[in-house]
A = this chain, B = another copy of it.
Amino acid sequence: MSEFSELLARYADVTARVGANVQPGQDLLVRADIGAAPLARQIVRAAYEAGARFADVFWADDQVALARFRYGSRDPASFDYAPAWKSEVLAQQIDAGAAFISISSEDPDLLADQPVELVAAAQRAVSRHAQPVYERISNSVTNWTIVAAATDGWAAQVFPDVPAEERVRRLWQAIFAATRLDTPDPVAAWRAHLAELEARAAALNARRYDALHYRGPGTDLTIGLVPGHIWCTAGMHSAAGTPFVANLPTEEVFTMPHRGRAEGVVRSSRPKSLNGALVDDFTLTFRDGRVVEAHAARGETVLRRLIATDEGSARLGEVALVPERSPIARSGLLFYNTLFDENAACHLALGMALRFTLEGGKELDAAAFEAAGGNISSVHQDLMVGSAELDIDGIRADGSAEPLMRAGEWAFDVR
């Protein structure tokens, strides 16, 4: 077995055993582009070795999707159709108890040359059917995970200066490094890593901080946390009680900021890819939880458009802590893929808050959720602010401060 094949097999093992945590006797459905067949097949192998009854792949093909734009009718009305069965099958299989693994391998530029209104119409048509799957996934009806596979288009974006024939190999190397596969037993390494993240979340939950205070070059920001906030990891439990990890890699612990309580200024530490455009070296000034000033050395227009999307897009929906020693942070790469980039550094999300990060949050109606400090928006964009020069304190209700991170690293013990 080549080194690449060996690493791909380990990635699949971690995906099936730690990510989705496929159970003996359980079925598995993998959603993959046919370009990701080598990884998808390895995941099927790993699932059977974990005891799956029936492991199958629900294939898609970027090129078939593109053909509609290249050769089909240009009439926008024709793009108003999307087949319902693809979502129905996923929902049915989840309801029947199947685990679910999604392989992310989108070419971000696939539809870049196509008319925006046709792309939007096609996406709307797909969205109309997606709700049943989205609900099951977000409510953890089954054990599921998302992982990534390198493709030509994605690799070209991450490594524009690397010769074309080298890029995919380089991106796979980066994925493998980011996914902690360089140990003899990656499954055990991942279980240990997740246990540490969960211990940090538990410690933070026990401390009941009222706010966080960020300090670094260009940054002096205090973010209030909602009462009843829950520090979470990507580790979850399905309705049947099976633990799983919703995405691999994962490096973060995260919780819910109060939509009305952010004061000060924060400076970005890494560029952000927003709808295909790059926003870099930007500062945001908050008052009463709201962005009141935004500047960017690059992509300021795109950044301002994001902030102006709706009432909630100028407010925070998530605060996440990621140490600088994480493999993704150390790589120094911009992956142009949230799965990796959000795990590269401490980040703040503008937009929609995650209801499971608030006690009882799933049961509240919109007004009660906002009254509790939860933010509502049609967007949710992670902005990287962590660096080796960032300090973060936890602020208790009595105003006392405790170090959470120093110089980008954890500053409290959990052992």
Contacts and interface: CB of A to CB of B under 8 A. Distances in A.
Number of copies: 2
Secondary structure at chain A's binding surface: helix, strand, loop or mixed? helix
Contact of A93 (B73, B78, B85): B85
A59 interface: yes
B61 A57 contact: yes
A81 interface: yes
Contacts of A67: 41, 44-45, 48, 55
Interface residues of A, number: 34
Interface in A48-88: 48-49, 51-57, 59-61, 63-64, 67-68, 70-73, 78, 81-83, 85
B48 A71 contact: yes
A89 interface: yes
A141 to B, nearest CB: 17
Given A37-B61, A41-B61, A63-B41, A68 B55 contact: yes
Interface string A20-52: 000000000000001001001100110011011
Given A53-B78, A81-B54, A64 B89 contact: no
A92 interface: yes
A44 B64 contact: yes
Given A37-B63, A45-B67, A48-B67, 12 more contacts: A34-B59, A44-B64, A45-B70, A48-B68, A48-B70, A49-B71, A54-B78, A54-B83, A55-B68, A55-B72, A57-B61, A83-B93
